[in-house]
Chains A and B, each alone.
Chain A
Amino acid sequence: MIEVREIRKSFGEVDAVNGINFHVGEGEIYGFLGPNGAGKTTTISIIAGILLADSGTVSIAGMDIRKDGRKIRSLLGVIPQEIALYEELSGRENLHFWGSLYGLSGRELRSAADRVLERVGLSERANDPVREYSGGMKRRINLCIGLLHHPRIILLDEPTLGIDPQARINILDIIREEVSRGTTAIYTTHYLEEAENLCDRIAIIDNGRILAEGTLQELVRLVGEEDIVTVTGSFTAEQVNPLLGGVKVDHLESDSIRVLVPDSHSISGLLERFFAAGVNVGEVSIKEPSLESVFIKLTGRELRD
């Protein structure tokens, strides 16, 4: 359904997107997981027609976005990361305006708007100007606009950003519901759980590149069955290096070491050797194989920074 080939985009010195390739099949939810500044929004903007790529191609439903822009855009529903609403208009008027641009009109438009307003619990406030809404309410209207016309493809750019957990669950439910009609979706996020819970396949993206891609199981298999153990404290690399027999070292520097261990038995063995050698250990963290450990392994850092 969506085919992205070698797209690149730079802003001056910054290579925001640096050769990205992926494919999203019909009815699939494709997750884009990456930290701030990874290039998620830039990629989505290129697909949505907001930005022109410096090079590379994007085709959607067999059409090239450079040639059949209007046709492709009529298939899309885009939920931008930055809330984009007319503040002086009411929530309902916003829905009516954006809906009419997708060809909805009359009764059909009004009932579609009423339905989504009901679904996100904003029926009561629908006639108030958006200016008077809370951040969460604006987020919900922002979401509704992209779903109103039941697009075949939805592009969601961090739709739950800055929302309280309760409202987040509600939003994820709505997205699930919408996608269950057979809609194709790209979902960007920097929340691991969202990617894990919602997406059929996930791409891990950083510095404008896709580092790994696959289903959750496939990605987790990348880090193997081993746990990731991170030990921090006050020591030098030379001091701990001789003590590391029997574990795979993933990362080693002064005061911090990350190793991969097959079971908890080898962890206690390792720590015993550390204590015996008088290594000053501050903190030990153990992570079982998960998307997070994949992320750490691929990027060398945690997602929340």
Chain B
Amino acid sequence: MKLVSIILANDLRRRLRSPFAVVIMMLMPLVLTLIVGIVFGRSGSVELPKIRVLLVDRDSGFMSNLLRQGLQQDRFAEMIDLVIVDGEEGYSMMREGKASALVEVPENFTGDVLDRHPTVIRVVKNPAESFLPMIVEEVVETMVLTIDRGSRIFAEPIKSVRVLLEGDRWPTGGDIEDVLNTSRTRAILVRGYLSDSLVTLETETLAPEGERTGGINLFAFVLPGSLMLGLMFISEIVLRDIVREKQTGTLARLFTTPVEAGEIIAGKIISTFLITAIACILLLVIGRFGFKIMIKDYLALALHLVASVFMCTGVITFFYGFIRSERAADAILSVAIVVMGLFGGSMVPLEQMSGTLQAAGRFSPVYWAIDGFKKILVFDAGLADIRLNLVVLLVIAVMTTATGAFMLRGRMQRGG
């Protein structure tokens, strides 16, 4: 045991001295998550929930109509699912996390705007989500600016015909779109001027109430897949030391010391496990604070992390039971990892694949890890919900680790 810990400590120290390969592999899931998250979030090509926005219209006048139609125009309609609610209902839905944001138009909004009285539009954001509410905020902000600027110029003419306008569907969405398209860029430039505007935008994020609100965070949906792909590669990089040390001669030298082959292998597998686990924890911390992914059940997450990382280490150990050189590792392992990742749902979410592929995915060990992380991070699953994942992962981990270690030990004892 002493010798195992010496080998382990040495491997960790060496990895600390040249951490770049692992760090780069850690960046991959983050970049992938960011890109996929944003691309999938913007295009309508993937069956993801739209951004649900609640509109509380206490004004029901021309101006609030304008706002509503703006949010419902074609371009936004792809993204935004606008639900008109009354105040009470809207706020309770927000508390239950059933929408990304709530927009509240105050009473007599049209009148105040036309009379140039100060007035306030509120945007209430769901704390469980990161960028979806931001999109809503930006859109509403742009519209508010447009309304404010427009009303300064057109207040008098509009006022004179306001009777005609009350409660009607004029102007059309197309007209608004034109205004929006040009004002959108300008809005960004003149954002600072909003402060002297008579219409103020008041943003507020609902305080999380301990119980997590259940809106879907797109990042939480995408991260598990790329995370597992990254972890597999990290395990591979770290365990590659076995063939690399064979090349540098240090492995042969280890055989001349009192250390036994089994102890060398144990040290290497444990260091691979630890480094992969540390990478996983760091990535989840970034996910939690950078991508605002809510974690409800930390115990379930911790256990699933251990099982998933153990599975990674085991599967890679298994491969190294057969692989004898870095060249073979290059040729076989990256392909094997990508295939397992692909079938397991690392690149394209499994939900997007055909039924056959989905069924095939179950044979990828990576699937069980990704599925578990999704359940925990997206759907608030607890221990009971991921029982099957844990069992499958641990069985795979134990079997692959044992087989791989056995093969490696046999080979080392024969002097190869």
Check: B414 CB closer than 8 A to any chain A CB: yes
Q: Is the CB of B255 within 8 A of A88?
A: no
Q: Is A14 an interface residue (CB 8 A)?
A: no
Within 8 A of B (CB), among A122-177: 129, 145, 155
What does the 1/0 interface line of A33-46 toward B look like (CB < 8 Å)? 00000000000010
A80 within 8 A of B: yes
Are A129's CB and B249's CB within 8 A?
A: no
Tell whether A216 is near chain B: CB-to-CB under 8 Å.
no
CB within 8 Å of B: which of A40-84? Answer: 45, 48-52, 69-70, 73-74, 76, 78, 80, 82-84
- The answer to whether B252 touches A85, judged by C-beta atoms less than 8 angstroms apart, is no
Determine if A102 is an interface residue (Cβ-Cβ < 8 Å): yes
Please tell me the number of chain B residues within 8 Å of chain A, measured between CB atoms. Answer: 22
Nearest CB in chain A: distance from B143 CB, A: 58
Select the residue from A52, A69, A76, A86 with max chain B CB neighbours within 10 A.
A86
**In whole angstroms, what is the CA distance A102 to B3 when docked?**
9
A89 at the interface (CB under 8 A from B): yes
Given A85-B250, A89-B17, CB of A49 within 8 Å of CB of B6:
no
Which of A82, A84, A88, A93 counts the most B-chain CB atoms under 10 A from its CB?
Answer: A84
Is A241's CB within 8 Å of the partner chain B? no
Confirm or deny: A101 has a beta carbon within 8 angstroms of a beta carbon on chain B.
yes
- Interface of chain B, main secondary structure: helix
* Best-buried of B249, B257, B260 by chain A (most CB within 10 Å): B257
Name the distance in Å between A134's Cβ and chain B's nearest Cβ: 18
- List the count of A-B residue pairs having beta carbons below 8 Å apart: 66
> Which residues in A have their C-beta under 8 angstroms from that of B250?
84-86
Residues of A within 8 Å of B414, CB to CB, are 52
B355: interface (CB < 8 Å): no
Q: With the chains together, A101 CA to B3 CA distance in Å?
A: 6
Q: A80-B249, A101-B6 are in contact. Are A70 and B260 (CB under 8 A)?
A: yes
What's the nearest-Cβ distance from chain A to residue B194, in Å? 55
CB distance from B408 to the nearest CB of A (A): 16
Q: How far is the CB of A185 from chain B (nearest CB, A)?
A: 15
Measured between beta carbons, the chain A residues less than 8 angstroms from B260 are 69-70
CA distance A83 to B3 in the complex (A): 23
User: Is A242 part of the binding interface, using a Cβ–Cβ cutoff of 8 Å?
Assistant: no
Complexed CA–CA distance, A76 and B14 (Å)? 26
Q: Give residues of chain B (96-120) contacting chain A, Cβ–Cβ below 8 Å.
A: none
Answer yes or no: B192 CB below 8 A from chain A CBs: no
Tell me which residues across on chain A come within 8 A of B413, comparing CB atoms: 52
Asked whether B248 is an interface residue with its Cβ less than 8 Å from the other chain, the reply is yes
Tell me whether A100 and B6 are in contact in the complex, defined as CB-CB below 8 angstroms, given that A51-B415, A52-B415 are known contacts: yes
- Contacting pair B253 A80 (CB below 8 A): yes
Residues of B within 8 A of A69 (CB): 260
Chain B residues near A98 (CB-CB < 8 A) = 253, 257
> Please, how many angstroms separate the alpha-carbon atoms of A102 and B413 in the complex?
20
List B contacts of A100 (CB < 8 A). Answer: 6
Whether B17 contacts A82 by the Cβ 8 Å rule is: no
Per-residue contact bits, chain B 121-143, to A (CB 8 Å; 1 contact, 0 not) = 00000000000000000000000
- Asked if B259 is at the interface (CB within 8 A of a chain A CB), the reply is yes
Chain A nearest CB: distance from B367 CB in Å?
A: 36
B13 contact set on A, CB distance < 8 A: 89, 93
With a cutoff of 8 Å between Cβ atoms, the chain B residues found around residue A78 in the complex are: 253, 256
Q: A88-B14, A89-B13 are in contact. Are A48 and B256 (CB under 8 A)?
A: yes
Contact between B415 and A101, CB atoms less than 8 A apart: no
Q: How far is the CA of A24 from the CA of B260 in the complex (A)?
A: 26
Let me know if A86 and B10 touch, CB within 8 A.
yes
B18 within 8 A of A: yes
Contact A50 B256 (CB under 8 A): yes
What residue of chain B has the Cβ atom nearest to residue A81's Cβ?
B249
A102, B415: Cβ atoms under 8 Å?
Answer: no
Question: Distance in Å from the Cβ of B243 to the closest Cβ of chain A?
Answer: 15
Is the CB–CB distance between A50 and B258 below 8 Å? no
| Smallest CB separation, A87 vs chain B (Å) | 8
Measured between beta carbons, the chain A residues less than 8 angstroms from B14 are: 86, 88-89
B256 pairs with A73, CB closer than 8 A: yes
- Contact mask for chain B residues 229-273; partner A; CB cutoff 8 A; 1 contact, 0 none: 000000000000000000011101111111110000000000000
The yes or no answer to A191 lying at the interface (CB within 8 A) is no
Chain A residue at minimum C-beta to C-beta distance from B260: A70
Are A50 and B259 within 8 A (Cβ)? no
A103 within 8 A of B: yes
CA distance A252 to B260 in the complex (A): 54
Distance (whole angstroms) from the CB of A252 to the closest CB of chain B: 44
Residue in B6, B10, B17, B257 whose CB lies within 8 Å of A73: B257
Query: What CA separation (Å) do A279 and B254 show in the bound complex?
Result: 60
A235 close to B (CB within 8 Å): no
Task: Determine how close the nearest CB of chain B comes to the CB of A67; give it in whole angstroms.
Answer: 14
* Chain B residue at minimal CB-CB distance from A85: B250
In the complex, A274 has a CB within 8 A of chain B: no
Task: Across the interface, name the chain A residue whose C-beta is closest to B249.
Answer: A84
Within 8 A of A (CB), among B387-416: 413-415
Q: Given A85-B250, A97-B10, is A76 in contact with B256 using a C-beta cutoff of 8 Å? A: yes
B308-325 interface bits toward A, Cβ cutoff 8 Å, 1 = contact, 0 = none: 000000000000000000
B252 and A97 contact, CB distance less than 8 A: no
Q: Are B6 and A82 in contact (CB under 8 A)?
A: no
Contact A129 B257 (CB under 8 A): no
Query: B1-26 CB contact bits vs A (8 Å, 1 = yes)?
Result: 00100100010011001100000000
Question: What 10 additional pairs, Cβ within 8 angstroms, besides A45-B252, A87-B248, A88-B18?
Answer: A48-B256, A49-B256, A50-B252, A51-B415, A78-B253, A78-B256, A84-B250, A84-B252, A84-B253, A98-B257
Q: List 14 A-B contacts (CB under 8 A).
A: A45-B415, A50-B256, A52-B413, A52-B414, A70-B260, A74-B258, A80-B252, A80-B253, A89-B10, A89-B13, A93-B13, A101-B3, A101-B258, A103-B258
Give 6 closest A-B pairs by Cβ, nearest first: A84-B249, A78-B256, A84-B253, A101-B257, A88-B17, A51-B415
